[in-house]
Structure 1
Amino acid sequence: MKVTFAEPTGTVMSVFGCGYLGAVHAAAMVAVGHTVIGIEPNAQRRENLAEGRTPFFEPGFEELLGDAIATGRLRFTDDPAAAAEATIHFLCVGTPQTAGQQKADLSYLEAAFTGLLPHLKAGDVIAGKSTVPANTAGLLNERVVEHGSGARLVWNPEFLREGYAIEDTLRPERVVIGVGDDAEDRAAGERLAAAYAGLETDGPLIVTDLVTAELAKVASNAYLATKISFINAMAELCDVAGADVSDLADIMGADSRIGRKFLNAGIGFGGGCLPKDIRAFMHRAGELGAADTLFFLREVDRINLQRREAVVELATVMLGGDLSGKRVTVLGAAFKPDSDDIRDSPSLAIAAALHGAGAHVRVTDPHAIRNAREASPQLDYVDDIEKACTEAELVVLLTEWRQFRDLDPAATGELVSGRKIIDGRNVLDAAAWRAAGWEYRCLGRPRLGG
């Protein structure tokens, strides 16, 4: 989207954590007219951002970042003391899944909060945007009050979609602000709402309590994950019953109570949010004595992971029952198109599983190869689609980039040694590929060869 920069407002903000969420939020707040200080301890990331180089791929972000820096109202530092200039402070650090456990790792949040605390002053607003377990914000706000600076903490969850992060920041579908119980807490929420006045949105501003605001993000993600796993469970049923899951999804989606979004059957969800959020949600429910309430999310997670296994099994069948030494080309490494994020990527997990089964796996992706190579160096990576497909015995489409969806089946067929393809996202024109001599297989559409 084209971003028009507003006139300066005079408000100074700090953003703790300039990864995907924080960097986009910082640049977007400059576009709204504010001055922003990014606090980022990672030296390489900080230097890249300060020089206008994007440390990740997000459509439109490089231009937005460059324009924001050019205003002179965006700078980056590793010194938390710089936040003393600001009156609104955003906590945008990651809360990844704890290694070997389901709970969220809050160490980065604790470090950012502890670094900010000595530099607060009366009237300051701390706005938490990180995804956290229920009751985290209340405990942090108690510490702010006990500190005696006169600042207050509110919770302002983010709802960014990778690939649409700028639009979701500047034109959000809703803005949620969770506040504490007293008048000063409510006033802090009003100050944050006023700072968002420049956003171009018709969505609602919902002011609620701290715990509800915390739950808003994880509950939304849990529901979206449930829709995806539900339609993938239906895809399994369609495979054995002989039905078409895409037609089924269209029929279900026509019901206004259900809707068509997130009913696309395929290899399931991944990324840095949905998988770790539903696991942390289950863990926190258990800590609160309500484990049985969210037990269904275990099945959501299981179905999601099972879809990856289904692709490997299908590939094995298509290549004669043994993947050893077979040349397999995987189209896509990122967990979704328009992103270079490979965190918990189904595409990369399937590629690694194919390699583990003995196949020689060649992977191509428009933007995620560098990240994928660091995570799975055992695979072969190629930038060029044609080179990636050359002499392949099986092609597996796993991330629905436009470049892959638009491949010409006849021309691609001239490159490979075996015209076999698995459409892991159900996005290709099955009739066109089969007419070009391909054995086309997909998930949940057995009448198309799946």
Structure 2
Amino acid sequence: MVYLISVLGCGYLGVTHAAGMAELGHTVVGIDVDAEKVALLNEGRLPFFETGLDTLMTRHLRSGRLRFSTSYEDAADADVHFICVGTPQQPQGTSADLSYIDAVATRLAPHLTKECLVVGKSTVPVGTAAHLWSVLREHAPAGDVLSMAWNPEFLSEGKAVADTLRPDRIVLGVQNAHSEKTLRDVYAPLIENGVPVVVSDLPTAEVIKSAANSFTATKISFINAMAEFCEASGADVKVVTEALAYDTRIGGQFLTSGLGFGGGCMPKDIRAFQARADELGAGRSLAFLAEVDAVNLRRRDRLVELIREQCDGTLRGRRIAVLGAAFKPGTDDIRDSPALHVADVVQREGGEVTVHDPKAMDNARRSFPELNYAPDALSAAAGADVVALLTDWQEFAALKPAQLERTVRHRRIVDARHALDDVEWRRSGWTYSAPGRPSLATAPPTEQAPPGHRP
């Protein structure tokens, strides 16, 4: 069945979801209050980078199944309304800022004059859906025939299109059988291809998303805590990780130590989850998330220490090449970027920092104009005392020692993401260091098998 769908909010989530719904055969209008953004989108231009999204969006602008508007009146006839606005951290405190969600409900309600389904996709504290439901029921002309659902997103920037069209699961938080049927119809092509569906009530769906982000963050911080312990004990976290990954109870995904997580979602989401637990009187149940957050932030300080150690104890006057500005590969998003956090601290300690990133240069320049920027990795490394690989783009992982040694001042590299072959770099005369592998900083190159090697 083909529906007329509105998507409210045209950021990373909204544009990806709108294009995905058009790909599934629906007619979609994306609504955003930013007129400049809407004009760009209707021209087929993304205001951000997301792998494959420009192609998908352009295809459906041309097919006529997708368009964008600033007018909520254009959403009035939709059968299903998806709320996709951001829920950033409050300026003061750690709770989620729900002002964008509330603004959407206020603007949308007067236009709900027919039977329809309003669906939240944003990550929100438990209880938000119930609040919105009461607002819409009170202010919408068709309040008596509205339905509310929560269908949390599980997108990962850099592969958001794949996550939309080939998700691991679809969660449907619904009030009644009609809402469930409507959403099953919306997602019918995916369900027919075998994507699992989890049906719940509204609060359970809200908690599922927060729980998923918190578990992922905990797994990342766990292995980074192991890296801290390995640094203190002389063990090698890379081999520890390899052994853990073979355990089917644990698995290897998100079990790579390094610089930790960042971005506009996971850090603020785990803080908001903990804040909501405190509000509900269940703060002790999620108290561990404070340490998950703390471990993650400590890795940034440790990376600065590793760079400083490579510079004989001082950063003042040293030239540091930083490879990476985005918080992760595959995106130009620099929100809470660990790479730029480290670059900024090094610069403030007197280092001369030059940054290169394949996609995030413009965003980085706007937010960190005091840093230097280079058009490619080799230019960034020119005259460097230390090269720091801080975002694991594939083009950085593919760098060879011979490429950089002709341009750097000293052959020293800090591999924050364990992206490089340390044996290859050390055999080429480089001083190599990485989080959780302290012995590699000064160990001479050898012919022995690398740690963890199995014949």
Measured against the shorter chain, the TM-score band is over 0.9
The residue aligned with 1:249 is: 241
Contact 1:413-1:436 at 8 Å conserved across structures: no
If the length of structure 2 is used for normalisation, what is the TM-score? 0.94
Q: What's the CA shift string for 1:174-212, capped at 9, x where partnerless?
A: 0001112xxxx3312221111110226423111101011
Shift of residue 88, structure 1, vs aligned partner: 0.4
Range that drifts further, 74-83 or 440-449: 440-449
The residue aligned with 2:163 is: 168
Distance in 1 (CA, whole Å) between partners of 2:119 and 2:274 is 25
Amino acid at match of 2:236: D
The residue aligned with 1:4 is: none
Alignment pair present for 1:438 and 2:430:
yes
Q: Which of 224, 238, 242 does residue 232 from structure 1 map onto?
A: 224
Q: What's the CA shift string for 1:95-119, capped at 9, x where partnerless?
A: 0111131011111111111111111
The residue aligned with 2:345 is: 353
- CA RMSD for the aligned pairs? 1.2
Identity rate, percent: 49
Alignment pair present for 1:336 and 2:337:
no
Distance in 2 (CA, whole Å) between partners of 1:154 and 1:59 is 29
Contact 2:378-2:403 at 8 Å conserved across structures: no
The residue aligned with 1:125 is: 117
Total equivalences in the alignment? 438
If the length of structure 1 is used for normalisation, what is the TM-score? 0.95
Q: Which of 391, 397, 420 does residue 428 from structure 1 map onto?
A: 420
Distance in 1 (CA, whole Å) between partners of 2:92 and 2:357 is 29
Shift of residue 149, structure 1, vs aligned partner: 4.5
Amino acid at match of 1:195: V
The residue aligned with 2:98 is: 106
- The within-5 A match list for 1:197-236 is 197-199=188-190, 201-236=193-228
The residue aligned with 2:24 is: 32
Q: What's the CA shift string for 1:288-325, capped at 9, x where partnerless?
A: 01111111110010010000000111111211211111
Contact 1:122-1:149 at 8 Å conserved across structures: no
Contact 2:2-2:186 at 8 Å conserved across structures: no
Q: What's the CA shift string for 1:79-108, capped at 9, x where partnerless?
A: 111111211000000001111310111111
Q: What's the CA shift string for 1:419-450, capped at 9, x where partnerless?
A: 11100011100011111111101111233228
Alignment pair present for 1:261 and 2:237:
no
Q: Which of 390, 393, 404 does residue 396 from structure 2 map onto?
A: 404
Amino acid at match of 1:319: C
Distance in 2 (CA, whole Å) between partners of 1:140 and 1:219 is 21
Alignment pair present for 1:281 and 2:273:
yes
Contact 2:165-2:190 at 8 Å conserved across structures: yes
Shift of residue 10, structure 1, vs aligned partner: 4.1
The residue aligned with 2:186 is: 195
Q: Which of 36, 40, 60 does residue 44 from structure 1 map onto?
A: 36
Distance in 2 (CA, whole Å) between partners of 1:278 and 1:98 is 13
Q: What's the CA shift string for 1:276-297, capped at 9, x where partnerless?
A: 0000011100100111111111
Amino acid at match of 1:186: A
Alignment pair present for 1:159 and 2:154:
yes
* SS, match of residue 67 in structure 1: helix
Distance in 2 (CA, whole Å) between partners of 1:209 and 1:85 is 26
